[in-house]
Amino acid sequence: MRFPRRPRGPRPPRLLAAFFLTPLLAGCFASSGGDDGAASGAGDGSRLRVALAFPPAENLSPYGADATILSRLGVTEGLTALDANGAAAPALAASWRQEDDHTWLFTLREAAFQDGTDVTPAAVAAALTHATEAEPAPAALSGVTLTAKAVGATGVRVTTAAPDPVLPLRLSSPGLAVLAPKAYGKKGAVDPVGTATGPFALTEVTGATAAELDRFDDYWGGRAQASGVEVRFIADGTARANALRTGQVDLAEAIPVSQAATLDADTRRETATTRTTSLLLNARSGVFKDPALRAAARAAVDTSALAEGVYEGHADAGAGIYGPAVTWAEGKRVQPAGRAKAGSPGGASITLATYDNRPELPEAAQVLKQQLEKAGFKVKLEVRAYSRLESDALAGKFDAFVGARNSLLDTGDPVSLLASDFTCDGGYNLALLCDKGVDRAVAEARTVADTGERQDAALAAEAAILGTDAVVPLVHQRVITGVGSEVSGVLLDPYERTLVGAGTRR
């Protein structure tokens, strides 16, 4: 799809002060070096050339997997963001306070949408309401019912049906980005072109191959140092590495471990992330509806062979749903109980699926195929691009699925991940798990407000999930990003929500 370029309108006088502000997020995460502040006095700046691994799968809807594309490119924002410690930080909301167990009041900062209209309480409340009505619901709203209403000139009151002690974290989700009223069309259609609030405005998308962004001069956090961003969607990891090495792009995400050594040391950035690669077994239908055969598959997997072999030491063997980057989980993990005894596969035929946007996954799946066949399964391997795979996986058309999932991407809250991915009503339940014990453990964890106690409850729920053998954690990844030698101000964070910001430049 192509969209016409958005003509620049006159600068609203109320936002002239934005030139002198420092971007909130520029210093939140480790960068590639240099000054990460906004270019309040910068010239036009060079356009950045960025290679991303995942092409749009849902027409850049903010409610699904494409939401992260928009946040990583500095297009969209929510009321809050995540800081380096995983806590809620101000974004479009300058502050907030909890009024009671069900109600929070958010105070907006002065900001504008990329179409020239003001960010008002009514616009924000409408944006959140649209998110609650989306089908399927954004992962951050899995099992959550909320309403948003404008309050005065700067306030938005958000009320949840059940107490939600982590609502400010939830509202940081890329899937709950705030867009201008004109973005929302009939039948749930959402158009992010020129309607977001970030330092860069999406102006053109060419199918699944490219996108173009222009600097949004009225960004509340300060004028971006780059004049725009040229985006290429390159699913092949070797091609992304080659594009960086030959100077065709300035940034390349998700460099395959097999290509890491081909890049100069000063152009590689390795970031510990909260991303876990897992084997998800279809617990609803087919061979793995039998817990004994799920146990047999889990027993067949050798995770160390994947971490040291496939990932060449750029990953850690799977310890659970939460990996080493989730530092609070270390030493507190609960061992799964009540696992079924492994049964005999007896030559049962299964289809194992994965996607090739992350080049290690097909290789990992091939190793798993060999391990499962050695245990007595007959395995058919199916590899596609992610955009052609997700809907079939969610529909239960495969027996097993190998996927990489950032455990804190959607909300920053460990319990929310479990609700969306492993409960009966979860919107991203690739294992198709529906277990009363798991649902009960997750529901109990959701009611806990104290941070430490909530973490403990999350680990107890994690143990209940692992006890079903519907998910087998394989490895915890360290992501390699290719950064050109002239580029600075890149935003690398363990949640993989950011990449390009107002301070990113070359």
What are the pLDDT digits (tens) for 21-42? 333 333 333 333 333 344 333 4
Strands 103-108 and 155-160: antiparallel
pTM of the full structure: 0.76
pLDDT at residue 13, rounded to an integer: 36
What are the pLDDT digits (tens) for 241-256? 999 999 999 999 999 9
* DSSP character at residue 242: H
What are the pLDDT digits (tens) for 64-83? 889 999 999 999 999 999 98
* DSSP character at residue 441: H
- pLDDT band of 14, cuts 50, 70, 90: very low
- Supply 454's token pair: 């909530």
Neighbours of 170 (CB within 10 A): 27
Q: Among candidates 275, 251, 240, 274, which has minimal Cα distance to 74?
A: 251
Task: Please give the average per-residue pLDDT across 76-102, as a whole number.
Answer: 94
CA atoms of 484 and 124, how far apart (whole Å): 37
Q: Among candidates 87, 92, 108, which has minimal Cα distance to 28?
A: 87
What is the SS3 assignment for 29? coil
Task: Please give the average per-residue pLDDT across 174-185, as a whole number.
Answer: 96
pLDDT at 12 over 50: no
pLDDT at 100 over 90: yes
pLDDT at residue 41, rounded to an integer: 38
CA atoms of 58 and 124, how far apart (whole Å): 23
pLDDT at 8 over 70: no
Task: Please give the average per-residue pLDDT across 376-396, as a whole number.
Answer: 95
Neighbours of 145 (CB within 10 A): 12
Mean pLDDT of the chain: 89
CA atoms of 106 and 121, how far apart (whole Å): 9
Which distant-in-sequence residues (6+ apart) come within 8 Å of 221 by Cβ? Answer: 18, 21, 22, 23, 24, 25, 26, 38, 199, 502
- pLDDT band of 207, cuts 50, 70, 90: confident
Beta bridge partners of 83: none
CA atoms of 297 and 276, how far apart (whole Å): 18
Q: Three-class SS string for 143-170?
A: CCCEEEEEECCCEEEEEECCCCCCHHHH
Look at the alpha carbons of 129, 133, 138, 140 in this order and tell me if their dihedral is positive or negative.
positive
CA atoms of 495 and 85, how far apart (whole Å): 10
- pLDDT band of 170, cuts 50, 70, 90: very high
CA atoms of 207 and 233, how far apart (whole Å): 10
Between vectors from CA 8 to CA 7 and to CA 13, what angle results, nearest 5°? 150
390 and 58 in contact (C-beta within 8 Å)? no
pLDDT at 342 over 50: yes
- pLDDT band of 505, cuts 50, 70, 90: very high
- pLDDT band of 431, cuts 50, 70, 90: very high
- Would you mind telling me the total number of residues written for the chain in this entry? 506
pLDDT at residue 32, rounded to an integer: 35
pLDDT at 496 over 80: yes
- Supply 341's token pair: 């005894």
178 and 462 in contact (C-beta within 8 Å)? no
Neighbours of 369 (CB within 10 A): 19
pLDDT at residue 379, rounded to an integer: 98
